[in-house]
Structure 1
Amino acid sequence: RIRGLKPADFNASVMRQGGTILGTTNTRNPFRYPVPGGETRDRSEELIAIIKGLKIDALIGIGGDGSFEIMSRLATQGNLNFVGIPKTIDNDLDMTDFSVGFDTAVAVATEALDRLQPTAASHDRVMILEVMGRDAGHIALSAGIAGGVDVILIPEIPYTVENIAKKINAVKAGGRNFALMIVSEAVKTPEGNKRQVVYQGGEKRYGGIGEFLGPKIAEATGSETRVTVLGHVQRGGAPTYNDRLLASGLGVKAVELVNEGKFGRMVAWRHNEVTDVAIEDAIRQCRVVSMDSSLVHTARALGISFGD
């Protein structure tokens, strides 16, 4: 479906909304478009023909690595002009310090921890919050620090249940009757196995590590343990002011690149300023948590355990 847009469509309410106003989707890859019978078909040439038929001068793609890989292939195959804006709550696009949506997701996860703390204290419990993040632990790390947890588990740092129990028991020995823990969905079991949920059609997604760890931590600590999976709540709601500022700055830069005829670029926020980088550099590798990052150092200095 094709929809024309006018400046009036972007009134003051748009920046207060989550999700998309365009009706776009990240589940319809034109190179593997789903058709009846569970099979896929390459419809990329059809899409390129539509774009050229509409005489579109340039495409501004908004999304993560999957979206940009598709856009990059379409641009190369169809000789299309393309500029990208990073938008992923996982914050795992390389060459940008922040992607649109990440700050809001961290705010939601932090609020969840704020709400879990009173019930943890009231019932002498260990509360485990499982958050999104795919293969990177940025959400769990940032929300864990902001939410004052005792244990942060991220896929970048191996852990043992014994070390988690050691931290929780130390907390209890210090006179506190509860503990908070946050775990990223992509964290593997101590044996190195992924916890995934298989959906209809065979699609696999991360999920279940919190429920896997809950009983083991309860047994190792003797503490009643509860697990909360935050899920898609992280993807909705009004964006934070940081996300609004970031999206505004990146959007302006994207339009400037189009006007200057600079394509094959992704706008980025690096070193506290808006810039642009080659799209190939942004999607070459997943941006994971660095062990040398200031946030990892901060968490350890605050006494937060990574279970290692």
Structure 2
Amino acid sequence: MTKEIKRIGVMTSGGDSPGMNAAIRAVVRGCAYYEIDCIGIYRGYQGLIENDLEQLTARSVKNIINRGGTFLKSARSKEFITKEGRQKAYDNLKNAGIDSLIVIGGDGTFTGAILFNEEHNFPVVGIPGTIDNDINGTDYTIGYDTALNTVVDAIDKIRDTASSHDRLFLVEVMGRDAGDIAMNSGVGAGAEEILIPEEDEGVERMMRSLENSQKSGKTSSIIVVAEGEKSGKNIFELAEFIGEKMPGYDIRVSVLGHIQRGGKPSCFDRVLASRLGVGAVEALMRGESNVMIGITDKKVTSVDFEVAIKGQRPIDNELRRVLNITTV
């Protein structure tokens, strides 16, 4: 069923990710193509509550496809958590003549969209924008590929120093609840071991790996550690633990931090964002709501928000097997 949509609001929320600008651009240009007004909402749900809105045209989004971050900006909103805050947001949408909403973000953004839809029966469609790749119902999220390339490039540089000085480097990457960045960048950069939130045996396996490396005469190693790994130690405590158990290692720590969020989006992320942005506009035109637009087996698909934010995806055992083989 085709629904007549006259004015779509678009916003970014939560942590920024490379490719969000490309997604906004695709939404705006998709609206222009279908002769639909597009209203940009600055600073996410908080900007919606404060009525920080601006009409966007195809000219408004020129030269942004290559820019990192989000020109609509992002913010976390405590006020939107309240029913009163969501009522303000709804009133502002109605007063602006906006009849549907596209939200670009992660699980927190989609959780807010679910509540908003339940209370006000307002059409909302989501686009997954998060470097963690921790959303169900899509093979990839916008920003993930760029973050991986940033991490691999950083680890390559760290390895040069590790080799020159015979050092063991612990490299912390983002991933509070999901180890996709750590696992894939670790394999891509040739790490000797990877610690991720989905596994509890990482430290024991890491120690066995380091012992085997020492016995074989290896003098430098890279261990990739997701920030949410389950040892109960932060990365500096982990380095101290290794030093106590294996005093022969010269150990250094590198926390990559927010450099993983920044930078120009990769071609993959630009294309993905463009496909999902147009897909979100067309989903609203079909009368869909309370869904996320994702990519599965190279095809644009839609999945209920409840499915998208439900639980944790299993780790890729094939990647773990490859890691075990390539670090022998």
The normalised TM-score by structure 2 is 0.80
Matched-pair contact (CA < 8 Å) for 1:214–1:225: yes
Q: 3-state SS of the aligned residue for 1:3?
A: strand
The answer on whether the counterparts of 1:30 and 1:47 sit within 8 Å (CA) in structure 2 is: no
What secondary structure sits across from 1:59 in the alignment? strand
How far did 1:78 drift?
1.4
CA distance 1:119–1:64, shift in 2 (3 Å): same
Q: 2:187 aligns with which of 145, 154, 159?
A: 145
Q: 2:64 aligns with which of 14, 25, 28?
A: 14
Which residue of 1 is the match for residue 4 of structure 2? none
Equivalent in the alignment of 2:34: none
Establish whether residue 28 from structure 1 lines up as the match of residue 52 from structure 2.
Answer: no
1:45 aligns with 2:87: yes
User: How many pairs does the alignment contain?
Assistant: 276
**Could you list the per-position Cα deviations for residues 148-194 of structure 1 after superposition, in whole angstroms to 9, with x for gaps in the alignment?**
000100111122645423212322333332000100000122xxx3x
- In the alignment, does 2:236 pair up with 1:186? no
Contact 1:100–1:246 (8 Å) recurs in 2: yes
Query: Bigger shift: 45-54 or 160-169?
Result: 160-169
> Is 1:295 paired with 2:316?
no
- Contact 1:161 1:217 (8 Å CA) reproduced: no
Report the TM-score, using the length of structure 1 for normalisation: 0.85
Question: Any conservation in 1 of the 2:199–2:230 contact (CA below 8 Å)?
Answer: no
Matched with 1:220 is 245
Superposition deviation, residue 30 in structure 1:
3.5
Displacement of 1:104: 1.0
Contact 2:194 2:223 in 1 (8 A): yes
- 1:229 is the counterpart of 2:255: yes
- The equivalences for 1:215-294 within 5 A come to 215-221=240-246, 222-290=248-316, 293-294=317-318
Q: Which runs of 5+ in 1 are unaligned?
A: 34-40, 196-208
Aligned equivalent of 2:208, options 149, 155, 166: 166
Provide the C-alpha distance between the structure 2 equivalents of 1:171 and 1:161, rounded to a whole number of angstroms: 15
Aligned to 1:130: 172
Tell me the amino acid that sits aligned with residue 61 of structure 2. Answer: F
Q: CA deviation at 1:227?
A: 0.5
SS in 2 for 1:228: strand
Q: What is the Cα-based RMSD across aligned positions, in Å?
A: 1.7
1:228-253 deviations in Å (ceiling 9; x for gaps):
11111101011111111111111111
- 1:96 match: 138
> Partner of 1:85: helix, strand, or coil?
strand
Whether contact under 8 Å (1:131, 1:231) holds in the other structure is yes
Identity %: 36
